[in-house]
Structures are given as C-alpha cells and as structure tokens.
Structure 1
Amino acid sequence: MKLVLLLLTAGKFSKMLLTGGSMLLSVVAYALIFGWRYAVGFVGLIFVHEMGHYLAARQRGLDVGLPTFIPFVGAWIELKDQPHDVETEAWVGFSGPLLGSLAALGCYFAAREGGSTLLLALAYAGFFINLFNLIPISPLDGGRITAVLTPRVWLVGVPVLVAVFLWRPSPLLILVAVLAAPQVIRAWKYDPEDPANQAYYAVTAETRLTYCVYYLGLLAFLAVMAHDTHEMLGAVRSLRG
C-alpha cells in the first residue's frame, strides 16, 4: 500500500513538474522576443484559460490532466475521460474562453487604472486569443461549444479559418487546419439519424438556445474588446512616436 501511495504521489509530482517545466520553457521562449514581463503575463493568461477547461472537466467528473505548454503553439489539457454527451463537451469548451476572458478583462481594468501599456498589451492578447479560439471549428473551443447546436456548424468555421489565414498568415493556422480536417469530414458526413449521434447530441431546445446565447454574447464581447484595446495601443504608439 505504501508503494502504491508513493507511486501515485510521484505520478502527481511528475505531472506538476511537466506543467511547470513547459510553462517555464514557454516563458523563456516568449521572453527572447517580447521581454520577460510580457512573457510571464502572456503565459499566465494561457494558463488561466486552460485552467477554465480543467476546472470544468473536474466539475463534471472527468479525469483530466494539468495543462502542458508548447511555445508558440499554446497549451492543452489531457482529457483522459472523454465527455459522454455534447452538453458536457460544450461546457468544458466554453469554460476556457470564459475564464480567459475574465483574466484579460482584469488586465484591461488594471491597465486603465495604472496607465500600464504592458497590461494593455496583455489585455489585447488575452481578448484576441480567446476570440480566435471561438472560431466554430473543432478542435478549437468554438467547435466544441457550437457542437451542441449541430456538428455541421463546423463547416461554417472553414471559411472563417481561411479568412483569418489570409488576414494574418501563420504556421499555427496551418496546424489548426490539419487538426480540423478530420472533424470537417466528420461534419460533412454527419448523420442525424444515426443512433450513436442521437444519443450523444440529444439536448433540449432550451439547452441549445442557452449555449447559443452564451457563445454569441462572449463572441461579441471579445470582438469589441479586442478592437478597442488594439485601437488604444495604436493611440499610445502614435503619442510615443
């Protein structure tokens, strides 16, 4: 029994070490380009976002691992238990952008209060990252949230992803497209009459409406805040120039 407890403790410690180590690696990588203050804040915002997913998964009784970070890619949590229904998937998906948006909002108010350009830049980054994650295509959070309506919504996410790539080309967007491809095919072939689909996607109209309001409300809020903070940063740069 002591050996089992020791192994369990060692396992938990190794998971925490992986999270802490990958976070530190990300901070160092971002610091080389943006400076360590911004790097710490940026990685912190990503951590809060991922902890939103983690806490929501734990709340629903799912076995989930702590976040793992990859510099310039982001972070993810390991869901060892997959959601058993689409509402659980939507809740876990929504909780990350929700908590991440609150963290970005905290940076925004602190920036307005103290006149900190650094915090304003972090607020913009937080709003933009969470807005990007709401693109309605899996494996992004927006795809997991909108699946509660129908997986066919993912087909709408394809032109949005293409538009974002044309606006701001990035290798990360190519990676997202590669990961999303199987889900897009799944959405294209989605059969609402399949018993397995009926069981997984069975939710009330009220639940669909609730998540639709949550999703559109957060989407609109983040779009406005990302735009406003971007304009504020532009004004600051103009004054300094």
Structure 2
Amino acid sequence: MESNKTTHILLFFLTFLSLTYSDIFLNPGIPQTLENYKLYFFENWPYSVSLLFILLAHEMGHYLPARYYGVRASLPYFIPLPFGPIGTMGAVIKINDQIPNKKVLFDIGVGGPAVSLILSLVAWIIGISLSKVVEIPSNIDRSGFLFFGDSAFTYFSTQWILGPIDFTTMDIQAHPLAKAGWVGLLVTAINLLPFGQLDGGHVIYSMFGESYRKWIHILFGLFLIFALVHFTWLVWGFLIYYVLKVEHPFIKDAMYGIGKTRFLFGILILVSFLIIFVPKPIIIGSEYDNPTLLDDLIRLIVKTVGISD
C-alpha cells in the first residue's frame, strides 16, 4: 500500500521547524516572543536546510536502489524532535518487500550512509572554514553549556583548518553549516553501527554472510564498552539488543556473491565509521572535565593490580 504523501510532507515541514527552533522552543531562559522566533529563523535556517538535505539524500540512497531492484519502499519519514540541541531523530524509509539476496541488500544498505557521509564531510569542511575560534574566559561557569564531542575526523580537521587550538582555553563558534555537517556525520556513524537492521548491519552481513554470526555478539560486547564513556551508547545498546537486534535476519546469498568491488567499498565504508565515530557526542558543561566511568574503572584496575608510574 502506498504511504500517504501528506504525512511525509507534514513530517518534513515539522522537522524543519524543530531543527530551526529546538534551541528556543519552550526554553524558559529565552523569551517566547515573535521577534526572537524571527531571529532564530534567520540564524538557523542554513543549519535546517543543509541538514534536511543531508537526511533526504541519505534516505534517497536507500530508496533509489530499492526501486531499481523492484523492491517496494516508502518515501522518507522525517522525525522531528523539538527539544534538545539537534532538533531531529533523523529519517527512515520502510521496506515493504522481502529483499531477494545479499547483493541487493548491500546496495540498498550502503547507499544511504555513502551519500550522507560525502555530503556531511563537505558541509563540515565548508562550515568549519567559516567558523571562528573564541577564547573562553577564565572565570566562566561551564555548567550551563552543552559541548559537541569530536570524532577523529572533526578534531584533526578543525586543528588543520583553524588550529592550533587549545580546547582548555579556546572554543569554536561554529557556523550553522558546520553544525549540520557534525550532526550528519553523527547520524551516519549511528547508522553504520554493524548490528541488526542498521545500515552497518546490512553492509557487514552482506559482506561476511552467515559466518558473521559466530563473532557479531563479541563485537556487540566490545561496543558496550562505550557505554562506560557516554550514556548515549547504553541507550543504543538497549535499542539494538531489544529492538533492532544484534544479528541480521536471514537473506539468501546472491548467485555470484557481492563481488570484489562491493566488498572493498564495504571495507572503506566501515573504516570511515571508525574515523567519524564520536565517543562522547554531547557533553554537559558540568561534566566536561569529569572522568568517565571507563577512566574510573581503569584507575581501579591499576590500583588493584598495583601498577604505578
């Protein structure tokens, strides 16, 4: 059954609003005046438009290969989130047919993150080039601020373009395009987690087949270590285990496999995941300098076994 196009358009529009106004909507610290809403519109529309384009392109990267192979799929459902610093939970499409084989599964699964990865990298590079380095006042109270964490890519690209930067005394006044690139990379990284029905789960299952069931739970256990670094990954661990599942449902092999080119491209995509993965995505100012649970655990182990410098 065809999905109602009105629903898709309405969710798209609501997501644009939530991206634009998530910082001000029902925020008791900001007066809810028409003038302020106008101000936030003109400040945030580059973020909203560019991130919506990245999300739309990601879903089209799934939708178009699905249609090419004759697999019925819905148009994208955008998910608005009017609270918090990001303003959305991304977008999804619904696959309405059984995927015929692992080659088709690979093409449908890899298309979305491949497209959003490229667009997010471009948005980040341009946006961070337009951003400014600002000095943090020595007496500032950080507890009321939120900080966006770094992946290996965002950290080293920032140092290369704007650096050298000492983040203990300096911060980035990010251009809206840089924020869109950062969120796009985060969404891409989450989708590339190699489990269950996530894009990374489609890709890694297509590449390694049924043999991957021997070690995918070990990989999931290693992933849970990041829950000791940031609570976000505990939430995702719960969702993966109980909703998205650790293992991928059975899909039959393609007659001649997925081919060497697809396999190498899959390796490239999985390596890119390691580069753009953010261990601590959003940091509350009051916890900025606090050790993580992993830090505390390592210190406890060191103290227990009697290792010293």
TM-score (norm 1): 0.70
CA contact (8 A) 2:130 2:175 kept: no
Matches within 5 A, 1:58-97: 58-71=67-80, 72-97=88-113
Which sits farther off after the overlay, 44-53 or 208-217?
Answer: 208-217
Q: Gaps spanning 5+ residues in structure 2: where?
A: 24-39, 81-87, 132-173, 282-309
Per the alignment, residue 54 of structure 2 pairs with 45
Classify 1:202/1:51 alpha carbon distance in 2 versus 1 (closer, same or farther; 3 Å).
Answer: closer
Inter-partner Cα distance in structure 2 for 1:179 and 1:208: 31
Tell me: higher relative CO, structure 1 or 2? Use CA pairs within 8 A at least 6 residues apart.
Answer: 2
Q: Is contact 1:73-1:172 (8 Å) kept?
A: no
Deviations 1:124-174 (A, max 9, x none): 222222122111101110111111212416435422542343333238513
Aligned partners of 2:16 and 2:52 also within 8 Å: yes
The residue type equivalent to 1:93 in the other structure is: G
Amino acid in the other structure paired with 2:195 = I
Counterpart residue type for residue 268 of structure 2:
G
Please give the per-residue CA displacement for 1:88-122, whole angstroms capped at 9, x wherever unaligned: 01110000001111211231343266557222222
**CA–CA distance in 1 between the matches of 2:180 and 2:125?**
11
Contact 1:136 1:156 in 2 (8 A): no
Q: Which residue of 2 aligns with 1:101?
A: 117
Mean CA deviation greater in 130-139 or 69-78: 69-78
Quote the residue 1:193 is aligned against.
none
Q: 2:16 aligns with which of 10, 16, 27?
A: 27
Counterpart for residue 166 of structure 1:
228
> Which residue pairs with 1:175 in the alignment?
239
Higher Cα radius of gyration: 2
Deviation sequence 1:69-105 (CA, Å, 0-9, x none) = 2234322112122211111011100000011112112
Among 151, 155, 171, the residue aligned to 2:217: 155
**Counterpart pick for 1:211 among 262, 276, 280:** 262
- Amino acid paired to 1:23: F
Q: How many percent of aligned residue pairs carry the same amino acid? A: 21
Say if 1:27 and 1:133 are closer, same or farther in 2 by CA, change over 3 A. Answer: same
Q: C-alpha distance in 2, partners of 1:223/1:84?
A: 30
> Residue 234 of structure 1 aligns with which residue?
none
Aligned partner of 1:211: which letter? R
Relative distance call for 1:32 and 1:161 in structure 2 (3 A) is: farther
Per residue, is there more helix in 1 or in 2? 1
Runs of 4+ in 1 over 6 A off after TM superposition: none
Question: In structure 2, what residue type is equivalent to 1:210?
Answer: T
